[in-house]
Amino acid sequence: MPFCKKCGAQVFKSFSSCKKCGNAMQDDDDSKQIQETAEDKSVTPAEPAAPAVPAEPVAPAAPAAPAATAAPAELAVPAVPAKKSNTPLIITIVAVVALIAVIVWHVTSLSISVHNNNYDNGDNCSKSNSDCTDSKELFAEIEKAKNSKEKVEVEVEKVGSNLSLTIIIANEYLEFWARGGILPRYFYKQINSDLVVINRESEDDPGKILKSVYSKSDSAYIDGNNEFITDLSAIKPGAVVATLSENSSRRLACGQSGPDVEDICDEKGRLAVTLKNRSVYDEIARDLIMIHNRFIDSPDGDKVVIVFENDIDNKKIANVAERAKNAGFSKIILTKYSNIFTVGSGDSRSKQEIMAVVNARMPDLRNIYNKYLKLKPGFSGKVTLKFTIAPGGDIISIAIVSSTTDYSEFDDAIKNMVATWKWKQIKGGYSTSIIPFNFTE
């Protein structure tokens, strides 16, 4: 984050003047921007250039059928919303008001203040500890979301000026969707009790652990360009840095401290900061702060949808939700993959049209599954794909959203096969669907 040249205070890049002294800020052409097109290092979906139109929501996966075949498509497709009813207008309005009330209650329950970097499910809390009480409430909300069948809209196409921010939590990475695009993934690995960021060129690349300089109070330092500081030599008396909180700019000193001054030395005058593995939660916290400040005027600029599979550890979900809340997002929706359906604008293919082709082509996927079973007997799992169908009928972008097979070669084979499927030409717009395919013996 940049600093005021007059008083040295930290100023978010979306502000035109310093809050502390009123000094006018200059534009920073190097400010970090959200990517508006998808760019994944392992799979690079290209979003359609024409106005986006959603695929109709599709139905949740049911238990897969026995035998060494892929589960029937109708058992593994997104859920379909109810058709428009002829209910009188007054009843419709009442229903909308009731839905808003539910969402407001849900968001209020997430407006908590848990200060621990890593949650413990609240099991070790005393009744007098308000932070622990809030922690238990959050974990209760996560469990409720995992057990819920309530559908949640996720915009997978750019719709007007909407931000449409969605965070996908998978077992090896976190991923942001925003404004119809997929941002680069944050790959991570668990070391002891920490989730650390790793730089990977692909899902098969073991990657390199990223490091950052942390303060005595274990806060990651960032410079005036919102970049993590990775060199200990940059931390010295007189330097001005910030941490991942608003108005956190401070001058570094040795043996001195104050409102805007931080002591970086121990009692013997030695540097007491550390270079250590960077937390994935610090990585997303930084970007969530920048995203929120840049799109604060968007109609949905205070909303984020957090999506996960049921097998994702509740602690991961809680930490992501807390970072989103601290970044300023007041509407936090928790949901699982099987409860999301895609929305966009205009007319597109119906669910029946999409599923007619999916059902007809399921033998293609069964053959691939049987082939890979011979190479890796006993494997099973679910591969969730996101793909966009153009008006002409071709799939113009496709990506693996998540997989539980632990078999990347098989996942790629399924994705490549689905990419060849074709639908009849229509006059409407583009259709995007997120469909999970279950595979079991």
Average pLDDT of the segment spanning 96-107: 35
Q: How far apart are CA 207 and CA 124, in angstroms?
A: 35
Structure confidence at residue 202 (pLDDT): 65
Q: For the segment 195-207, what is each residue's pLDDT rounded down to a tens digit?
A: 999 998 766 678 8
- Structure token digits, residue 386: 């996101």
Short-list 129, 81, 132, 137, CA closest to 107: 137
> Using 50, 70 and 90 to split pLDDT, how confident is the model at 270?
very high
Number of C-beta neighbours around residue 136 at 10 A: 18
Map out the domains of the chain as residue ranges.
69-81+344-440, 89-150+158-208+280-343
Q: What is the mean pLDDT of the chain?
A: 73
**What's the distance, CA 309 to chain centroid?**
13
User: What end-to-end distance do the CA atoms of the chain give, in Å?
Assistant: 52
Mind giving me the DSSP string for 409-436? HHHHHHHHHHTT-B----SS-BEEEEEE
> Using 50, 70 and 90 to split pLDDT, how confident is the model at 81?
very low
- For 98, the enclosing helix (H) or strand (E) is helix 89-110
For residue 110, give the 3-state DSSP assignment: helix
Q: For the segment 335-385, what is each residue's pLDDT rounded down to a tens digit?
A: 987 777 665 545 567 777 888 899 899 999 999 999 999 999 999 998 988
Q: Is the pLDDT of residue 68 over 60?
A: no
> Using 50, 70 and 90 to split pLDDT, how confident is the model at 149?
confident
73-87, 101-115, 185-199, range with the lowest pLDDT: 101-115
Of 181 and 305, the structure prediction assigns the larger pLDDT to: 305
Q: Is the pLDDT of residue 261 over 90?
A: yes
Number of C-beta neighbours around residue 255 at 10 A: 11
Q: Is the pLDDT of residue 108 over 70?
A: no
Q: Which residues pair with 67 in a beta bridge?
A: none
Region of residue 95 (phi > 0: left; psi between -120 and 50: alpha; otherwise: beta) = alpha
CATH T-level topology, domain 69-81+344-440: TolA/TonB C-terminal domain (3.30.2420)
Q: For strand 152-155 and strand 166-169, is the pairing parallel, antiparallel, or unpaired?
A: unpaired
Whether residue 334 contacts residue 142, with contact meaning beta carbons closer than 8 Å, is answered with yes
> Using 50, 70 and 90 to split pLDDT, how confident is the model at 23?
low
Q: For the segment 289-306, what is each residue's pLDDT rounded down to a tens digit?
A: 999 999 989 999 999 999
Q: How far apart are CA 22 and CA 15, in angstroms?
A: 11
Structure confidence at residue 433 (pLDDT): 80
Q: Which residues pair with 431 in a beta bridge?
A: 389
Region of residue 255 (phi > 0: left; psi between -120 and 50: alpha; otherwise: beta) = left
pTM: 0.61
Residue 399 CB partners (closer than 8 Å, separation 6+): 38, 40, 43, 44, 45, 182, 385, 386, 387, 415
Q: How far apart are CA 400 and CA 45, in angstroms?
A: 10
91-95, 263-267, 314-318, range with the lowest pLDDT: 91-95
